[in-house]
Amino acid sequence: MTILEQYEQLEKTIRAYNPSADFQQIHAAFEFANEAHKSQKRKSGEPYIIHPLAVAQIVAEQKLDSESIEAALLHDVIEDTSATHEDIARKFSPVIADLVEGVSKLTRMQYATKEDEQMENLRKMLLAMNKDIRVILIKISDRLHNMRTMEYQSPEKQKQKSLETMEIYAPIAHRLGMQRIKWELEDLSLKYLDPIAYAEIVSKMDAKRPEHEALMERTQKQIDDRLNELNIKHIIYGRIKHPYSIYRKMFSQNKNLQEIFDLFAFRVVVDSMGDCYNVLGVIHDLYKPILGRFKDYIGTPKPNGYQSLHTTVMGTDGIPFEVQIRTMEMHDIAEYGVAAHWKYKQNGQGAGTEGRYEWVRRLLENQEGADAEEFIHSLKVDMFSDKVFVFTPNGDVQNLPAGATPIDFAYAIHSAVGNRMIGAKVNGRIVTLDYSLKNGDLVELLTSKNAKGPSRDWLKMANSTEARSKIRQWFKKERKEENILNGRSAFESELKHCGLTMKEVMDPDILPELMKKVAYPTLDDMYAAIGYGGFSAQKAVSRMQGEINRRQQARKQEQQLLEAELAAKEEQHVSETKQQPKQPKKPSRSEHGIIVEGLDNCLVKFSKCCTPVPGDKIIGFITRGYGVSVHRCDCPNATAERRKDPSQAGRWIDVSWSDDINETYPTTIEVVCKDRANLLLDISAALSTSNTYVLGINTHSTEDNFAIIRLDVKIENTSQLQTLINKLNQISGVLGVSRPAG
């Protein structure tokens, strides 16, 4: 089919359900996309415009409005061409530009991991979807066509995209009630994820197809004849279970093809809800119902709006089959989900107000601050898991993820209820908080105003992201100091497990880079997040480990260069005659504000024992593996006696401060004071008024009611340091302020 023929087919599809569509604008969108993509080819070698046309065709088959068709034709122009949001808004409309922007990936940004990129793309899409549900309808159509043409991709890309489709897009289609597209996405994904199993199922089904079709024809005629006798107006048709559904039951439940009860299914579509129940009686009169296999989704619809009566019966041939009974409107919603709403709106037009689904907003709210892995996990659990329906004592229905506990139930009602909960009753009996709720359970919560709040164990018992998010928020707000202590302990334990030390993390040269890796402004913020469960110690260490190893390797290389340079200079010095007049040494260039006499490109490290700052008299010591370590001259580790030690001869070297310093330097101040209330508050005020950047505060109380406070700060020079010391000395209860050395 030529490009023009494909476009004409698109128009024909649209005219069949929406003859009043804006065909002039639709054609303009086609021409704009065709021009924008004219130099691009797909992996198959076809012109790229084939893809937007195919996506628009899928959108049209869902009977969506003109704006959706236009956005589908244009959906890749922002991402893959030079066209911008402004260009589309100007030529078409801001609404269409927003739809296209919502479908586009964040390809122009850099992310630390593939998971982070996937999370941000999904979060962006959900935000756009919250404003206009048509974003996700176009995106799912885009993914469906990509899966239909996946054979042109590499095997690695096939598996990657198929897994993403199976875990994200097919479940979203299910959550939106788009069963027909969901089934096709699952089948196409299975084809690449487990090609052997897929081929085996298709082969077995093809081999039995004549037998299956004859059975279905006989059964369909039996039902059709009986309903005609009773003058019940209806449409009936049968279907065989699709390959992925068969695969899931065969492999997850260890069943063979003969053990799958709903391998065959019939749908009976009638005019009214009353007729649905009438047909149910007819079916149960014709065939023997199988106990426990009846479900009334009309009285209790699924969360995605799905409504039908389901019953499984034993056929006259001794083969069980399922019958689904519904009205035409229920049928459209079952097949096309949220897209079916457009059929029931005037002229097929609308701004997608049905898309303002509460579950989308709740999902976004619960994921504020979540990392990539937690976000993706929550999508799979909260959005896509099977649901369990339970009742409140007032008879209200709450739908929760399968496996939900009373904790999930409590936080679904309100965070305050969850925080005050001390127990729960199910069907009148007290149960443990990890009890797994079942459909139809009547749940009563026991609360107390004196409750101490949630336990950390609740995070393991809760099965919904909403509950876990609210529990973490409580700990984040109420137990910050405890969170920091617990988080630091877990972090240090994980460091030790990985063969790293806090000394390596606290290195002022590397600490800012490490904080970027974990996306927290300070270590305390990271500790607090680990403490309340918002981040894991394993992730923190794994993200830092690469940077630490990289820095260590760079130091080794620089040390090797330094040692080679020192050996060359020593050899040169020995060869020079004593009579030769000494030439003044040429100072090297500054490194971190330090000039090392006679050496270029030298690694400089400030010693932790005395933490020098500009203005201090300093001396350098050549270390093994870490370049030159800079000490204060009054440091116990750099006394005159140590410098004269023969075993260290030649390792002490003159260093000086550069004239062009524009950095701040870490140093430590020790405050000895009488312990009292609000002491830390007064010290914090002194630090704030002197514009001092604080790296950390460590306090220790003695038995005789004294406190020793150790402040790790960043200072520009000794003048600023002395100003800070003077301010601290003026605080009530402060007995002395000093700089530790050694």
- Residue 488: its pLDDT value, please? 87
3-state secondary structure 200-257: HHHHHHHHCHHHHHHHHHHHHHHHHHHHHHCCCCEEEEEEECCHHHHHHHHHHCCCCH
- H or E element that contains 524: helix 523-532
CB 117 within 8 A of CB 106: yes
Residue 215 CA neighbour count, 13 Å, CB half = 19
The pair of three-digit structure tokens given for residue 419, joined into one six-digit string? 């925080």
Residues 6+ apart with CB under 8 A from 17: 63, 343, 348
Beta bridge partners of 54: none
Active-site annotation holds for 213:
no
- H or E element that contains 726: helix 718-729
Catalytic pick among 61, 79, 117, 329: 79
Q: How far apart are CA 494 and CA 643, in angstroms?
A: 39
Query: β-strands 309-314, 288-289: how paired?
Result: antiparallel
Beta bridge partners of 604: 628
Residues 6+ apart with CB under 8 A from 684: none
Return the CA Rg of the chain: 35
Q: How far apart are CA 668 and CA 709, in angstroms?
A: 10
- Residue 601: its pLDDT value, please? 66
Residues 6+ apart with CB under 8 A from 323: 223, 265, 266, 267, 268, 283, 310, 311, 312, 313
Beta bridge partners of 268: 236, 325
Q: How far apart are CA 214 and CA 184, in angstroms?
A: 25
Q: How far apart are CA 101 and CA 84, in angstroms?
A: 9
Q: How far apart are CA 161 and CA 20, in angstroms?
A: 37
Tell how far CA 284 is from the center of its chain.
47
Neighbours of 59 (CB within 10 A): 28
Residues 6+ apart with CB under 8 A from 93: 67
Per-position DSSP letters for 401-446, written without gaps between them: ETT--HHHHHHHH-HHHHHHEEEEEETTEEE-TT----TT-BEEEE
- Residue 121: its pLDDT value, please? 64
Neighbours of 19 (CB within 10 A): 10
Helices 358-366 and 465-478: angle between axes, nearest 10 degrees: 40
CB 266 within 8 A of CB 279: no
3-state secondary structure 483-503: HHHHHHHHHHHHHHHCCCCHH
The string over 283-305, giving b where at least 16 C-beta atoms fall within 10 Å of a residue's C-beta and e elsewhere, is: beebbebeeeeebebbeebbebb
Question: Which residue bears the tokens 């000093």?
Answer: 738
pLDDT tens per residue, range 163-209: 888 877 887 887 777 888 988 999 999 999 889 888 888 888 888 88
Catalytic pick among 11, 22, 61, 80: 80
Q: How far apart are CA 164 and CA 157, in angstroms?
A: 11
The string over 264-282, giving b where at least 16 C-beta atoms fall within 10 Å of a residue's C-beta and e elsewhere, is: bbbbbbbeebebbeebbeb
Q: How far apart are CA 265 and CA 507, in angstroms?
A: 67
**Residue 117, phi then psi, degrees to nearest 5:** -65, -45
**Residue 668, phi then psi, degrees to nearest 5:** -125, 140
CB 426 within 8 A of CB 435: yes
Global pTM reads 0.53
Active-site annotation holds for 80:
yes
Query: β-strands 594-596, 443-447: how paired?
Result: unpaired
| pLDDT beneath 70, residues of the chain | 105-131, 252-262, 303-304, 337-387, 554-555, 557-591, 598-601, 624-626, 647, 649, 742
Per-position DSSP letters for 122-163, written without gaps between them: HHHHHHHHHH-THHHHHHHHHHHHHHHTGGGS-HHHHHHHHH
